[in-house]
Structure 1
Amino acid sequence: MSGTLALASAIASMDQETLAHLVRQRRPQSASNVSDPIGLATELLRADTVARVLAPLNRRQLSLLLTLSEADGSTEPYDPRVLSELTRLGLVGIQGSSSEALPEVTAALMNGLATAGIDPATLGDASAEIAPRDPQPDTHTWYAAALTAVGEGSETLRTLRDHPGRLNRSGSVAVATVRALSELTSVEPSKTSLILAALDRARLLWPEPSKQRLTPGANAPAWLALSCGERWLVLAQTTLNAMPQALRAALETAGSDLAVAASMLPTMFPLLPAARRQIAEDFVATTDHLGITVQGLLSEPAKHVMADDLATARAILASELPPPAPGIYVQPDLSIVIPGSLDPANEADLASLSRPEHIGVATTRRVSELSLADAIERGVTATTAREIFTRLSLTGVPQPLDYLLASIAERAGSIKVGEHHGDEGQSRVSVSRPELADTILIDRSVQHLQFMRSAEDRGVLYSKLRPEHVIAALNAARYPASAAASLRAGGLGSASAPSPGETSSGEPHLLTSDDTAAQLSPELENLVKRVYLAARSEPGTGDFTRLLELAIRDRGTVRVTAEARGQAYVFTLLPVSLSGGRLRATDTAAGMERTLPVSTITAVETL
């Protein structure tokens, strides 16, 4: 026996808000084909969608479903809160004024329990036991991981600004991009993936699937301009908001220990797939890396973030995070030691001139000819670079760095690359000395640029390749090339930032989460309106009409009792349509078609 009618009755009794909640949770696939409660009930009772909605239910909810299926019409009282939750999920039907188990749900539940190796008789007996860890992890060390994660996130955004990443066709980050970011930021690939996920949750990335490109989002500059503590607060808040629902429910029992909560999932949620349990464990690893937890135990500021008490969280950050470092130590080997976080402006200046070798509470960077060439390519002058090092260095400017800056200053501007729209190529290269242009023309390391000399000016070369490729290749070959002013104004090598109108919640995401509070799509919103109106319009109300609608959908035969002038008439009919308050059906016994007013029907029995 099907539970379609009982579920349709439950759906018809829902208000529009409850119906929207049901559709949001279940997300029927064939939304365009659903126009009434019967249609929605049919969609929701498909085996795959029933198994999917059962998976995250806890033992208490599963036990009530099992008890309801065994009730056999008894009036046994049920927990009204749990029963309401299950009804709102479309897992319980209504027969008359009583809740009724749905056969399709019961079958899926029994199959799931058998697959998980759980005896249905013991489902309501098991409880999640908490085994507190002894000794408890020391969460006072949270700030070390927090500072490291903020530094990694900041460096990742700056790197993506200058070197946009690539997305797969599915919209996920390409493995090659993770590997390249790892090399450029000196962060392990596994940790790079965690940082990318944290940045995405904080709306700091701008994935463009149509172009298969990943760049910083429009909010990234504002985030980079925040203090280190405020940057961490953004990452912590958005990460905790994205906690998987099952893990959040287990955490209510486990207190503040995410690791214990993750270990409780198999007991609390016996049908939860292994893949979703793994997601919960990965989430704990993410929070550990971000300093939100220490070995799975929530840190003090994270507890207050969870409670939406940001004022107290900020007070803890102010007292426990070390103050910004007064400066940096530039070593003769051109390495830079940063003994703590820097002021955001100083951090940005230093990042523009050097590359990271180690990111942590104390960070190590290195200045090289290539890093300075990249800075000059972005418009930084050698004079500006010297001023930055002089201002920040607590040990002055060592002789090797002074020599390198002088050399760069001497060569800076000797090769300018701009766009060209003529037949000669896409790039115009202006070389300050003709003899240097002669050298470039015969240099095998840049032959792939296909240079051609201008007939009018021996110091001008043309290339078939685009300017960004020419600049990168010349710098790699140790020729100090930089972008022409007009090209820099156009943002060479930078991410195409979205316009202000594109920075709202409509920004695309790389990841999906368990967040079911997302807005309904227009298609699903229209489904809710259609079903809600159909349940309240004639003749789409009442058990009789729903039985007839179901018979029409299934092409089934029904026995209809109708009354006219005080007499009852019984017909065996094959319903064809139901509209305008009238039932049109085929009477196979009489060999004719009948039309009956719905108002005269007093009973409908499915055969």
Structure 2
Amino acid sequence: MPSTARSYAEDLRTRSDDELRVLLQRRPDLARPAPSDLTALAARASTRASVQRALGGLEADQLHALEAVLVSGDENDPARLLGCTTAEIDPLLQDLWAAGLLWRSPEGLRTARAVGELLTRPAKLGPPTADLPAATRAVDADAAYNHLSSGARKAIDQLRWTHPSAAFTGATGRTVLTELTDAGLMVRTDLETGTIPREVGLALRGGQLYPDALRPPPPEGKVLTSADVDAAAGAEALELLWRLEELATAWETDPPRVLRSGGLSVRDHRIATARLEASPELSAFIIELAYAAGLLSEDGQLEPCWLPTSEYDNWAASTPIERWARLVDAWWETIRAPFLVGTGGEHPPSRTGSAPTINVLGPGAAWPLIRHRRQDVLRTVATLPEGTVAETHSVDVLLRWHRPLRLPPGVPTRADVVLREAGWLGLTGRGALSSAGRAVVDGHDVSAAMSAHFPEPVDHVLIQADLTAIAPGPLEDSLRRVMHVAADVESRGGATVFRFTKASVRRALDTGMTSDELLRTLQGASSTPLPQPLTYLISDLARRHGQARVGTASSYVRSDDETALTAMLADRDLSPLQLRRIAPSVLVSPASPGTVLDLLREHQHSPIAETSDGGVVITGRTPPRAHSRHARAHPVQVTVLDEPAARAMVSELRQAETARAQQPPKAGPRIPATDPTVTLGMLQDATAEQVPVWIGYVDASGSVRRTLFTPHRVEGGRAVGVTDDDRTQTFSIHRITGVAPA
């Protein structure tokens, strides 16, 4: 560290160029906008807002070291307060000094002024005796503790490490409080409240701030091999792609409506859950992820529906690894929080019914903090030894160690939610961080990290005589899409079992595929000859498929098979269509063609639609699409200051400092214009250090003047102190044009 300085600002001015560069890179908010000189930099670095941002990034050992300096004063050594050696704490103190949270005074290390304003209860100790409303006498804490009654001793034991203040209600509580105040261990702040003074609290702890201050919690969890982790992650990633495509296929044929309040209805969410054969949480995650990636959107119609976007077609045409990488990018950046679905939108969620239930895709399913929480959780998991299964409790403890001020006790970490979603996405495998997950954390290419671990697709199935087909692994895309249209999934696992049914074969024929095309595709994919029952099933359904055609008359049904039309007329289930024969081969109906098609298909009559000129309408070839949404807005991020920019800024600050030093000494330094925040911070620093500063101010006549001013008190937008002519004056902060060190 440098030699001692008489003020925080002087400490910054004595730093080398490299040390200033490190400060700017550690705290990039100091560089936006660029400070005019080193004095302005020091003023900005000591403001509450900047210091609070720097404190939020400290880990627990750094925070404990900073608290030790704050508590130590002139009587205690920080190392002794933490129960460690000087060699253990010195690197932490050096790091805190490099971040501008400490400065080197002649009396020893001191914290920046705003640190004490923000950490009002360092190490959960009370205020110093001098700051309490009632004076206390010096006591031997150990002796006083030993003479307490059992009730008073129990109260002190509960407060010793947790909180310096407590309310003592009821007659018994007030008796205990009186005993503790009489013993000198507490100060009564009102009738039923007492506070343990800092000096007494420290003595009760044996002179230590924490029982174990600098040692992070040990990692817990079993360790798996990297191969097992990555294989499981690849399988999960591929399964996610399949489920998302299944969702898009379902919604392009039967799009759910958008609620008036926005989002998806509970009924439609339940239907999607059943279609995906997933849990409600997983289906909500898939829907929200597709929306975040721009693959789903409202169609913008008078009665809007949720549909795949035009971007979905480009996504579906890309390779599986490219599709997966886009989903990962969307998840890493989105502020959508699927875990809130079904709750009242509280954090943590509550089911008390105090707020409306949040729907999938609704406006309430967004939570800006989830993005940073998601990244904090994965970065914490990345600190575990490779292959370690991330247990939720262990991650919670580590998170609170890495972000003690952001995640104090009682605040949910959401580690369980993030780990669950990371598992679905393939960033973890069997609970441990995968190679792809580590690439996401490190900012590397996730596609390259995952490509070697995607299961190798197979291009064949084993079709059996009982109308089932077994896929021995993940199918390649084109075959998988044919199988999902022409057959129903009967079971999943290491091998997927499909079953051909009349309904599934009709579904394939409805898409425009002919029986020859379907048979040829299945024959080419089957490792054995097609069984005769399947061939007969497809041929028989194809022979009858499309014999009846639907048009407009309002609508008509025509067929060369007069017997089939007679059967339709006799079918009571078709009575809502009010069918009427106008020719041996033609029926008409007042219902719309779409209604006629749906009802005839529902009752196994297998019609197809035709145009007014007799052409066949092939459904399923051009599915409806919503317009692509505008470019996704990413959450606000603090601009990172790279090394060249930091060096250039330090050079400019040095030049400004040199120019200021060359001002004639008799006239005083040049007083640059400073904004009110910098002015207030510099005056507060000068008050704390009892040093004079040059100020420029506007007098009553509107003239700009200057004076050497020693502030004694800064409060309520005013500064009170002594000017260079030994007069006590009060200046309004808004009338001070600038401040410069004396």
TM-score of Structure 1 vs Structure 2, range by shorter chain: 0.5 to 0.7
Query: Amino acid of the residue matched to residue 390 of structure 2?
Result: A
CA distance in 1, matches of 2:521, 2:492: 20
Cα 1:600/1:325, change in 2 over 3 Å = closer
Distance (whole Å) between structure 1 residues aligned to residue 125 and residue 591 of structure 2: 65
Q: Secondary structure at the match of 2:503?
A: helix
- Other-structure match for 1:494: 623
The structure 1 residue matched to 2:452, chosen from 301, 307, 316, is 316
Indicate the SS of the match to 2:272: helix
Q: TM-score by structure 2 length?
A: 0.52
Separation of aligned partners in 2, 1:112 and 1:237: 44
Deviation at 1:154, TM superposition (A): 1.9
Structure 2 match to 1:522: none
Q: Deviations over 1:128-169 (max 9, x none)?
A: 222354554674264356335414532432342333356667
Q: 1:336 to 1:171 in 2, by over 3 A?
A: farther
User: Which residue in the other structure is 2:526 paired with?
Assistant: 393
Cα distance change of structure 1 residues 265 and 445 upon mapping to structure 2, 3 Å threshold: farther
Q: Closer, same or farther in 2 for the Cα pair 1:60/1:396, shift >3 Å?
A: same
SS in 2 for 1:395: coil
Structure 1 pair 412/66, CA: closer, same or farther in 2 (3 Å)?
same
**Cα offset for 1:101?**
2.3
Do the aligned residues in 2 keep the contact of 1:327 with 1:338 (CA within 8 Å)?
A: yes
Residue number in structure 1 paired with 2:602: 476
Q: Deviations over 1:432-458 (max 9, x none)?
A: 25665565466454556x556597994
In the alignment, is residue 180 of structure 1 matched against residue 271 of structure 2?
Answer: yes
Amino acid at match of 1:476: E
Aligned equivalents of 2:638, 2:308: Cα separation in 1: 23
Is the contact made by 2:61 and 2:215 (CA closer than 8 Å) also made in structure 1?
A: no
What is the match of residue 648 of structure 2?
none
1:366 aligns with 2:462: no
- Give the partner amino acid of 1:293: T
The 5 Å alignment of 1:60-209 reads 60=61, 62-63=63-64, 66=67, 70=71, 79=93, 99-101=112-114, 105-106=118-119, 118=162, 121-122=209-210, 125=213, 127-134=215-222, 136=224, 139-140=227-228, 142-143=230-231, 146-147=234-235, 149-163=237-251, 164-165=255-256, 174-196=265-287, 199=290, 203=293, 205-208=295-298
**Gap change, CA 1:218 and 1:397, over 3 Å in 2:** same
For 2:113, give the aligned amino acid: E
Higher relative contact order (CA 8 A, sep 6+): 1
- What one-letter code is carried by the residue in structure 2 that aligns with 1:247? V
CA shift for structure 1 position 189: 4.4
Query: In the comparison of the two structures, how many residue pairs are matched?
Result: 499
With over 3 angstroms needed to count, the CA separation of the structure-2 counterparts of 1:571 and 1:221, relative to structure 1, is: same
Alignment of 1:435-446 (within 5 A): 436=564, 439-440=567-568, 443-446=571-574
- Which residue matches 2:142? none
Q: What is the CA-CA distance between 1:337 and the residue it aligns to? A: 0.8
Q: What is the root-mean-square deviation of aligned Cα atoms in Å? A: 5.6
Which residue number corresponds to residue 470 of structure 2?
337
Quote the Cα distance in structure 2 between the aligned partners of 1:139 and 1:350. Answer: 30
Partner amino acid for 2:380? Answer: A
Provide TM-score, normalisation by structure 1: 0.62
Percent identity between the two aligned chains: 19
C-alpha distance 67-396 of structure 1, shift in aligned 2 (>3 A): same
**What is the alpha-carbon distance in structure 2 between the residues aligned to residue 247 and residue 438 of structure 1?**
67
- Bigger mean CA offset, 121-130 vs 485-494: 485-494
CA apart distance, 1:410: 2.0
What does residue 265 of structure 1 align with? 399
Amino acid at match of 2:632: S
Larger radius of gyration between Structure 1 and Structure 2: 2
> Equivalent residue of 1:459, what SS?
strand
Closer, same or farther: CA 266–171 of 1 in aligned 2, 3 Å: farther
Separation (CA, whole Å) in 1 of partners of 2:277 and 2:320: 20
Q: What is the DSSP-based 3-state SS (H/G/I as helix, E as strand, rest coil) of the residue aligned with 2:528?
A: coil
Matched, 1:462 2:590: yes
Does structure 2 retain, via aligned residues, the 8 Å contact 1:152–1:185?
Answer: no
Distance 1:56 1:429 in 2: 72
Post-superposition shift, 1:235?
Answer: 5.2
Alignment of 1:59 with 2:60, yes or no, is yes
Distance 2:73 2:259 in 1: 53
Cα deviation, residue 125, structure 1: 0.7
Cα pair distance change 1:291/1:244, threshold 3 Å: closer
Q: How far has the Cα of 1:186 moved from its partner?
A: 3.6
Deviations 1:532-563 (A, max 9, x none): xxxx9787575269999xxxxxx957467899
Structure 1 residue 259: Cα displacement: 0.1
Structure 2 portions without partners, runs of 5+: 1-7, 9-22, 34-42, 79-89, 102-109, 127-157, 165-208, 334-370, 640-671, 684-696, 698-714
State the match for 2:508 in structure 1: 375
Other-structure match for 1:384: 517
Query: Does the C-alpha gap of structure 1 residues 118 and 235 become closer, same or farther in structure 2, counting only changes over 3 Å?
Result: farther
Q: Is the 8 A contact 2:310 2:627 kept in 1?
A: yes
Give, in whole Å, the separation in 2 of the partners of 1:56 and 1:600. 31
Q: 1:387 Cα shift?
A: 2.3
In the alignment, residue 461 of structure 1 is paired with which amino acid?
Answer: S
Residue 439 of structure 2 is aligned to residue 298 of structure 1: no
CA distance in 1, matches of 2:518, 2:31: 57
Q: How far, CA to CA, are the matches of 2:100 and 2:573 in structure 1?
A: 69
User: Matched residues in 2 for 1:346 and 1:61: separation?
Assistant: 57
Instruction: Assess if the C-alpha contact under 8 Å between 2:674 and 2:739 holds in 1.
Output: no
Specify whether residues 359 and 141 from structure 1 end up closer, same or farther in structure 2 by C-alpha distance, changes over 3 A only: farther
Q: Distance in 2 between matches of 1:452 and 1:110?
A: 84
Q: Give yes or no for contact 1:332–1:398 (8 Å, CA) kept in 2.
A: yes
CA distance in 2: counterparts of 1:471 and 1:560, whole angstroms: 87
- Would you say the 8 A contact 1:417–1:470 is kept in 2? yes
- Give, in angstroms, the shift of residue 356 of structure 1: 1.9
Seen in structure 2, the aligned counterparts of structure 1 residues 279 and 98 have a Cα distance that, compared at 3 Å, is closer
Alignment check: 8 A CA contact 2:511 2:618 kept:
no
User: Any stretches of 5+ residues in structure 1 without a counterpart?
Assistant: 1-5, 7-12, 24-36, 88-96, 509-514, 520-535, 549-554, 584-597
- AA aligned to 1:296 is G
For the 8 Å contact 2:578–2:590, the answer to whether it is kept is yes
* Structure 1 match to 2:384: 254
Counterpart AA for 1:478: Q
On the 8 A contact 2:457/2:475 being kept in 1, the answer is yes
